[in-house]
Structure 1
Amino acid sequence: MKRTMFALVLALAAMAAHADERVVGERMADGTGYASVVRTGYGQAPDRGRLLMVFEQDGMAGVPLWESRDEGAHWRFLMNVTDQPHAGDKQWQLRWQPHITELAQATGDLPAGTLLLSANATRNDEHGRVYVEDLQMYVSTDGGKSWRYRSSIVQGGGRPEDKDNKGVWEPNVHRLDDGRLVAYYSSEQHKGEGYNQLLAHKVSADGGRSWGREVWDVAIPGGVQRPGMAIVARLADKRYAMTYENIDGPRNGQVFIKFSRDGLDWGDPQRHGEPVMTLSGFWPSACPVLQWFPQGGPEGVIVVSAQRAGGGGDEGGRSLYWNNASGRGPWWEVRAPVQKRSGNIHAGWTQALLARGDGSFLHVTSSSAADAPEQASRNEMLSAIAPLRFDRYEAEDAELTGAAVVPDPAASNQRKARLGQGESRLRFLVHAAGGVHRLSVRFGDLGLPAAPVLMVNGARVPAAIDKATDGQLATVSASLLPGFNTIDIEGGDHVLDIDYLQVDGDAPASPGGKGK
């Protein structure tokens, strides 16, 4: 009886801890996490323009495949893609870390428009615990109506909870410019060599029928740090970018980004790359997904989602991080369309973001259940469609001097920077095209009249104050240099709350590719 009451108290406490998380998004289906979405565009005409989505579901039914024909507004279930090499063996199933993509050009004997689905097939022991993993690839040449097994990329073994397991995880497959396929994945097979987990890739020259030798991309010696969950995207300048999580590093779960000219050479595997981080020190953490979109300026914008955040960032992982300088310089936050409920580590585990034709974005992620937030098996997939502001620089992400971050549900990202009087400052490093831009600062005083002072590349620019808007708006026109510009907001006679700096005037990039 005491144990039952104790469990009830814990459950009620967990529910109360997440009661203030206002959930935004439409429930699609039961699902633990790991959403992946692709827009078809290269197959047969009737199948073009559809969205196809896969994700992890609880149990042993396979990988669910869903379809939308209206840019994500409505979805319908198509089938479960199941393990074919071990068909009939109830201990095997295709189930974890699915990734779906489409071939824009032929590779091997696979024509353009072929769908590729890679996922982790697992085998359970007699107690229902995973002890073998097999990263498999499947292909569909009829728009996802049927699937056939293509190959095994790499196999591993051991229960995930065991420290000495030799598991393999998280396949991410892409076509290279020369027609070969590359599969990125995480490997725990080198613990004896001093690598707790590392990121590697293999290349296929025959359309995924067979795979070459393993090449390491991120491998941190010492037996502690665990780089994992690599996702790769193509940028406007044709470089490849990779994000990954660094579990058990100095900042647990911190997201890093690396770059490659050919998708194969990522530099010294022992180098982490660059941290994804705001000027104020916030950083996304765990389960990152990287994508590029032709918005936000002449170089487009890189957007990174993550399961949570560190350094003072939103621990619920309800923000996206963006950079419009091809990964150079600081990162900035924008509120995610789906506002998930946290509660377990699978809520928000690998998310999907896709640009729609009307300029808005489809966002899909997993959220914990209201009545059982700690049970990943009860998670649900949520979707939402909303615009994203890549011209708005949140004040809480700026370099803070004599300022503090405070919560505010009415603020742009539900937080703002409180700027003290005297020697106080918010510094923004803004990447923009040259020419005249309109700068707007949304602010509010705390009862004692005050207004911010704007400095653009060291020069003070007088601002017009509009008190008729929601809050107050200080607006200037200023000439910005091509590249990075320093914009400072300095304190007034009294304390001020600064919500954001908005920079208007940059044209979008020419589309250089498609968001996954």
Structure 2
Amino acid sequence: MKAILTTLVLLAALLVPVGTAQAVTTGNGSLVYAPPAGSAFDAAGTTYAKIIALKNNGTHNGELLVTYDQLVYVSGHQVYPIYRSTDGGSTWSHVSDVVPSSTFPSLTLTSQPFLYELPQAVGGLAAGTVLLAGNLMPADRSSSRIVLYKSTDRGSTWTYLSTVDTGGPAVYDPSPTSTTTTVWEPSFNIDASGNLVCYFSDERQKASGVLQAVVYRKSTDGGLTWGPVVNVAAVGNKSDRPGMITVAKLPNGKYIATYEVVNRPSQTLNTAPVYYKLSDDGVTWPSGLGTQIKLADGRGIGSSPYVRWVPAGGPNGMIVVASKWGLDSSGNINGGQDFFVNYNLGLGNWERLPFAVTYDASDTQGGFFSGFAQGIDVSPDGTTLYQATNVENASTTYNDIRVGTIPLNADHYEAERATVNNVSTVTHADASNGAKIGNINYSTSYVQFDVKAPAAGTYTVNVRYDNGTGATSSHLVSVNGGTAFTLSYPPTYDWGRFRWAQFTTALNAGTNTIRFSYNGTYAELDFIDVHRPGVAVPGEFKIVNRNSGKYLEIASALTTDGAGAGQWGDTDHMTQIWKVSSAGTSGYYTFTNKNSGKLLEIPSGSTANGTQADQRSSNGATYQHWSLTPTDSGYYKVPNRNSGKLLEIYQNSTADGAIADQWGDTGCACQQWTLVKEGIQ
């Protein structure tokens, strides 16, 4: 979907200076740019926020660059502004403008920018070169041109490199009778052969019944010249209209492409659900439309997706997809405050991870295309996810550009799974795990989290809340029964719009309590994340048996050496949560029970079929090591390193309490497992 195409009104305006930014987790992120009131020629003010965290620039690694579609004229033309942060996104400086009209004087309109840092040398371009692509148009939008610029000094100066492709008028018409021939929405990646690939949307195949395709052109000389157009997804039914493609490389060498499909689920209910495909090399893609990204309950996402793979979150890292809005199981717009994530290399179940920055996804509160075509990236150490997006500003009626962060090294605790008193569980589409705690309204009301800390020290606690009172609210917070302090919650737009509060506290090694109590005002709690900045932690998961659908656990929540492992339905207890960590040898992992702190093993190094798995303190033995061998649909076989036999549920049982043992490969579904994270305590 494209930005709103409005009548252009020439308004001279200058970039406003960047003020002091707010904290990047609280305050709905930090402010990068706010269009001055009365300055923009489009009701949105800004769209297409894009961000990269430098990872191939030596001592400058970790610096952040942001650009966006700035719907304001500078001296009679548009520019691509470049902002930089050297403090993790807390503050921003305007460092340069890319001015396409200096190369193409008649092309005064810019749109759809994309930033990309080369991870390796390509042609004559060195690793660390920053690329910017965008779509250029004349004032009457009578043509479209995808162009490429490069910077070798981290965005300070830019050089025109090449034109990737040209198309017809930039007119958005998704109807089956459309005759448009536009090229739109470029993005980049490096294919398996080391070539630079530009992916984009192409409306020039209508003679074949293709309303719009997502395609690519490949460059073997570092972006100077481009090969032929090749389809990634093109459907000849004059209706399905894939667009806004981005591509990420996965650690197994495969690639994932995500894109919206306009005119889905129907031409009358056009909410542009997000689809994906997997490729072995980034340029060879299966035929067809692809697979819609959905949760197990049928919820999806729609409009202007962006995909990244990040190394944190689990043994395979995770695929993170940002999109403008959420969809219910029927395809209707319904919320939109969560990334959709996959921990299994694009196979199997999708889950959610809350946004750092929220916005009015359905534009019902005065925003215009808020959250449209946002960008995400991860810090070089893999512990921080950055989100750049446009957010409605009630004062100017335009969208600001804001950047927020989410820690990827946090332990997660759901409010509805905590110990509660005199409160209510409230369902909400955008709440983590679909629920939050409300009605914390009485002197006896509280929500108490039992928090496991791996070591004594100072921890940061991020609190996802909503507060629709219109004024600042608060709770009293006490840690381990100590003196309570006041935690404030600035107002959110309503009782369905989430933001973040934050505090730091000392925690003891082992179990701690954090209690939130009524303090005379009103706010609701979704969950807390507890982490130590800069300290990586293993991913925490429930391990689900494919045959029974039940969770691997230590029976009766025992903490003793030798306690047996089995399966049980969901109990909300930490004995069903496992920390999946590298065993120090490539391809092998340890599974540490969160409740006991002990490792899953095959006792005494047995190699016999039917030996029950149990738990024991870490001893470095290979019988405490496991691997994850993919099967299909996101499931794994889990062989023990010592015996080579598979973790299973004995005799294919579906009963609560059935033991987990090892056995040679039988091909049975009871020997397959998947990793699930959302909603764990």
Question: Above 0.5 in TM-score?
Answer: yes
Which stretches in structure 2 are left out of the alignment for 5+ residues?
1-25, 35-44, 417-424, 438-541, 559-570, 577-592, 594-599, 601-612, 614-625, 637-648, 657-676
Opposite residue 359 of structure 1, the aligned amino acid is: T
2:374 — aligned with what? 351
Return 54-63 or 310-319, whichever deviates more: 310-319
RMSD: 3.6
Measured against aligned partners, the alpha-carbon deviations of 1:169-190 in whole angstroms (never above 9, x if no partner) come to 1111223343321110001112
Q: 2:54 aligns with which of 30, 40, 62?
A: 40
Q: How far, CA to CA, are the matches of 1:358 and 1:456 in structure 2?
A: 26
Aligned partners of 2:124 and 2:222 also within 8 Å = yes
Q: Which residue of 1 aligns with 2:153?
A: 142
Amino acid at match of 2:374: Q
Equivalent position SS for 1:206: coil
CA contact (8 A) 1:416 1:500 kept: no
| CA contact 1:391–1:502 (8 Å) conserved in 2 | no
1:331 equivalent in alignment to 2:350: yes
Structure 1 residue 203: deviation in Å? 0.9
- Counterpart of 2:465? none
Q: Write out aligned runs for 1:228-247 (5 A).
A: 228-247=243-262
- Cα distance change, pair 500–257 in 1 and its aligned pair in 2 (3 A): closer
**In the alignment, residue 50 of structure 1 is paired with which amino acid?**
E
Call closer, same or farther: CA 1:395–1:331 in 2, change over 3 Å: farther
Which residue of structure 2 aligns with residue 76 of structure 1?
Answer: 93
- Mapping 1:281-360, distance limit 5 Å: 281-311=298-328, 315-342=334-361, 343=363, 346-356=369-379, 357=381, 359-360=383-384
> Given the alignment of the two structures, is residue 365 of structure 1 paired with residue 389 of structure 2, yes or no?
yes
**How far 1:464 moved relative to its partner?**
6.4
Q: Which structure shows the bigger proportion of residues in strand conformation?
A: 1
How far apart are the structure 1 equivalents of 2:229 and 2:410?
38
Give the whole-Å Cα distance in 2 for the aligned partners of 1:392 and 1:416.
Answer: 14
CA spacing shift, 1:155–1:310, aligned 2, 3 Å: same
Which one of 31, 37, 49 corresponds to residue 62 of structure 2?
49
Q: Distance in 2 between matches of 1:489 and 1:64?
A: 60
- Deviation of 1:61 after TM superposition, in Å, equals 2.5
Out of 270, 275, 285, the residue aligned to residue 292 of structure 2 is: 275
Q: Is the 2:214–2:243 Cα contact (8 Å) retained in structure 1?
A: yes
Amino acid aligned to 2:33: A
SS at match of 1:192: helix
**Paired positions, count:** 411
2:680 alignment partner in structure 1: 502
Residues 195-248 of structure 1 show CA distances to partners (whole Å, capped at 9, x for unaligned) of: 111111111122111111111110011111110000001111111110000110
Q: Which residue of 2 aligns with 1:158?
A: 169
Give the distance between the partners of 2:211 and 2:305, measured in 1 at CA: 19
Give 1:69 shift. Answer: 0.8
Which of residues 206, 228, 232 in structure 1 aligns to 2:221?
A: 206
Partner of 2:278: 259
Going from structure 1 to structure 2, the CA distance change for 1:49 and 1:156 (only over 3 Å counts) comes to same
Q: Per the alignment, do residues 464 and 326 of structure 1 end up closer, same or farther by CA in structure 2, a change over 3 Å counting?
A: same
The 1-side partners of 2:409 and 2:556 are apart by 23
The answer to whether the Cα contact below 8 Å between 2:50 and 2:113 also exists between their aligned partners in 1 is: yes
Preserved contact between residue 296 and residue 391 of structure 1 (Cα < 8 Å): no
Distance in 2 between residues matched to 1:329 and 1:489, nearest whole Å = 24
Q: Find the aligned partners of 1:323 and 1:389 in 2 and give their Cα distance.
A: 16
The answer for the alignment partner of 2:402 in structure 1 is 382
Q: For the Cα contact (< 8 Å) 1:463–1:474, is it kept in 2?
A: no
Q: Against the structure 1 CA distance between its residues 408 and 311, is the aligned structure 2 distance closer, same or farther, given a 3 Å change threshold?
A: closer
The answer for the alignment partner of 1:436 in structure 2 is none
Q: Deviations over 1:277-329 (max 9, x none)?
A: 10011101111111111122211111111000112587342111111001111
Q: How far apart in 2 are the matches of 1:406 and 1:303?
A: 27
Max Rg structure? 2
How many angstroms does 1:262 deviate by? Answer: 1.1
Larger RCO: 1 or 2 (CA < 8 Å, sep 6+): 1
User: What CA distance in whole angstroms lies between the structure 2 residues aligned with 1:317 and 1:180?
Assistant: 35
The whole-number CA distance in structure 1 between the counterparts of 2:108 and 2:433 is: 41
1:160–1:167 Cα contact (<8 Å) kept = yes
Whether contact under 8 Å (1:258, 1:274) holds in the other structure is: yes
- AA partner of residue 369 (structure 2): H
**Given the superposition, is the C-alpha separation of residues 383 and 61 from structure 1 closer, same or farther in structure 2, using an over 3 Å criterion?**
same
SS at match of 1:502: coil
> What corresponds to 2:33 in structure 1?
29
Alignment of structure 1 residues 331-480 onto 2, 5 Å: 331-342=350-361, 343=363, 346-356=369-379, 357=381, 359-371=383-395, 378-388=398-408, 407=427, 412=432, 415=435, 457=545, 458=548, 474-477=573-576
Share of identical aligned residues, percent? 29
Alignment partner, residue 621 of structure 2: none
Q: Hey, what does 2:490 align to over in structure 1? A: none
The two structures have a TM-score, normalised by structure 2, of 0.55
